[in-house]
Structure formats: C-alpha cells, structure tokens
Amino acid sequence: MARKFLYLVAVLIVLAIAAAFAYRLWGMEILRRTMVPSAAFEAMPPAETSAYADPAMWLARPDKPANPALWTPPGFEAADAAQAAVFFVHPTSYLDRAQWNAPLENAEANGRAEIFLRGQASAFNEVGQVWAPRYRQATFGAFLTSEENARRALALAYADVLAAFDRFVAEVGEDRPIILAGHSQGALHLTHLLKDRIAGRPIAARIVAAYAIGWPVSRTADLPELGLPECRRADEAGCILSWQSFAEPADPSLIFDTFDATTGFNDTPRAATPLVCTNPITGNAGDAAPAEANLGALFPSEDLSSATLETGRVPARCDGRGILLIGAPIDMGNYVLPGNNYHVFDYSLFWANVRADAARRMAAFAQ
C-alpha cells in the first residue's frame, strides 16, 4: 500500500511538472483558448452623461460610504480634503467568456474592481479625492484576440468612460487640478480620453499628471496626439507616465503580439516603436533604481483582500523597447501572467513611490 502511495505521489509530481512546462511553453495560447468569448457581440446603447449623476454608477467618489479608494496600509492616511480631483479608470475585473462586456451589476467583477481600487487608486488619496466609475468593461479575453468583436467591446466600454469623465468634470468644477489615472484596460481608455477630451483644449492646463499604467504608449505613434508630453523628470507636471512590469527573463509577447498589429493615434504603425517607460521608483524616464530605493511595495494576501507594505524589496529599470524590469521573479501568489508578466502588480509593486510621485507632481503643478 505504501509503495502504491509513493507511485501515486511520483505520478502527481510528474503531472504537475508537465503542466507547468506546458503552461510555460503554451501559456498564452491556453489563455486565448479559455478566455476569448465564443458568443456574438451584443450591441447596447451608449451610456448618457446624465447616468453618472447617480452615485450608484461610481465605485468610488468623495461622498460614497465605504469608498475602497480610501484604503491605506498602516502608517498612511487618506487626506480629509485634498486639492486635486482624481479620475481613476479601473483595470479589467470581468473574466467571464459568456459575453464581451460586463453587466454593470455583475457582483464578482465589481468586487474585483474594488480590490483593484484599494491596491491602486489608494496611492492617490493623499493628494486627491478619487472618482472611479463603473463601466461596461470589455472582458479579459478581448485583449487576447484581434477579431472585430473585441474592438466593438472596447468601444462600448470606452463610451461609458467618456460619459463618466464628462460628468466628473461637471461635478468637480472649472478650476480644480485633475489627476488622470488608470491601469490596463483603464489605461487604454485613458489614452483615448486624453486624445478626445484633453489634447488641444483648455482643460489640458489643469492636468497635474496622467498615469497610463499597464498599457503600452508608443512614443512615436501615440504620444504626439495625446496633448501632453512624456514625463521625463520626477519634478515635472502636466505630463504622461507609463510602465509595464516584468521579472527576468521577460517575455512581453502577450502584449506586443496584439499591440504591434495596430496603428497609433497618428495612423502610423505601432510595431517595434519605442514605448514610454517611467521608472516608478525615481519618477524619471528610462533610468534604473535599486531595491533599496523602493519606498514600499504592497504584498497581497492570497485572496487579494488585504496587503502588507514592505520597503526595499523591488528594483526597477527601463530596458530595451521600453518595458520595466524588476529583477528576479518575486512571489506574489497565483496572479503572475505568462512571460514573467507582473501586470496585475504594476501599481502595488511601487505603491509608496507612486504616492510620493503624485505629491511631488502636485507640488510642481502648484508652483
């Protein structure tokens, strides 16, 4: 009996190794097969700006009880009254392949979105009051395919974000400084918003900074149309930040395979173009910083419901085409994507530095 048990253990170990090897080799293809919806896209009317007059359409806003963006780890506090207003677009939290866009009332997607607000938008609650809309986000699988249904799903999601932003601007007044921030799908929508609502308009003078994190921004094919320059120095205001985090060895093909097949905002190909890469530790473009300079990374619990802040754990350097390398892989649980892609943790790996960066840029804006 003992020998049979040992055989069983050996077989399970071999199967586990084989599964890990297969995931390493074909992880991206597995993701595409299991996450891209097979259903047809369901066309829905765009949201009206007036819909976002309803507080229920917001995951976070200054007057919302139990606002998840007000969370802070021990030793930090959200400001009672902050000078800036923060418009934050949360990343993809809808993983279902049954349909291309998340229903607004989907409890599971909204629950994940609130987790993301605690770990991401909370970095800004010292310098700004956070507004984060619900929106009919495109499902995760929409980013793994180039089919037309994915484009339609993203367009529907963006229309909601645009309506929410127009309401946000009406609510916060005409003179208040604005921080724009988002992650992943939220950062993608933020780049479109910069082009459609900021570039060439008076409101551009009110933008403290735009944090388009976790989505590639081409320096040549996108940036010229976004109305703000790249943040080159830590003491700049009125500029755009972006980074995408990978441990080494890094394989960013999951991102670039889709991104490189598209054209930029100025209608030129994005393929092989250099990307905006801000070092979140230093706030400068394209440089490197040791782990000792990291003011604090959030290390999540297994279910992502809480996190602890640890200093000096994660380095950062911009490399190659413009991805952010964090050195050897770090144990962050089960949410690391194929290719050593730490996409889920783009904010949390540098949470305290992002907080300091926002305060520094707010001070530069005030001057």
**Is-contact 140 328, C-beta < 8 A?**
no
Give the three-state DSSP class for 313. coil
pLDDT digits (tens, 9 = 90+) for 183-197: 999 999 999 999 999
pLDDT at 5: 36
Q: Per the omega criterion (within 30 degrees of 0), is the bond before 249 cis?
A: yes
Write the DSSP symbol of residue 181. Answer: E
Alpha helices in 36-59 (DSSP H): none
Distance CA 107, CA 100 (A): 16
SS (H, E, C) 76-124: CCCCCCCCEEEEEECCCCCCCCCCCECCCCCHHHHHHHHHHHHHCHHHH
pLDDT at 70: 96
pLDDT at 232: 98
Q: For the CA atoms of the chain, what is the radius of gyration? A: 20
pLDDT less than 50: residues of the chain: 1-26
Give the residue among 193, 218, 328, 330 at the shortest CA–CA distance from 272: 218
Side chain identity at residue 297, one-letter code: A
**Is-contact 210 182, C-beta < 8 A?**
no
pLDDT at 289: 98
List 87's β-bridge partners, or say none: 131, 180
**Is-contact 272 256, C-beta < 8 A?**
no
pLDDT at 22: 41
State the Cα angle at 212 between 221 and 32, rounded to 5°.
80
pLDDT digits (tens, 9 = 90+) for 227-248: 999 999 999 999 999 999 999 9
**Is-contact 244 255, C-beta < 8 A?**
yes
List 239's β-bridge partners, or say none: 209
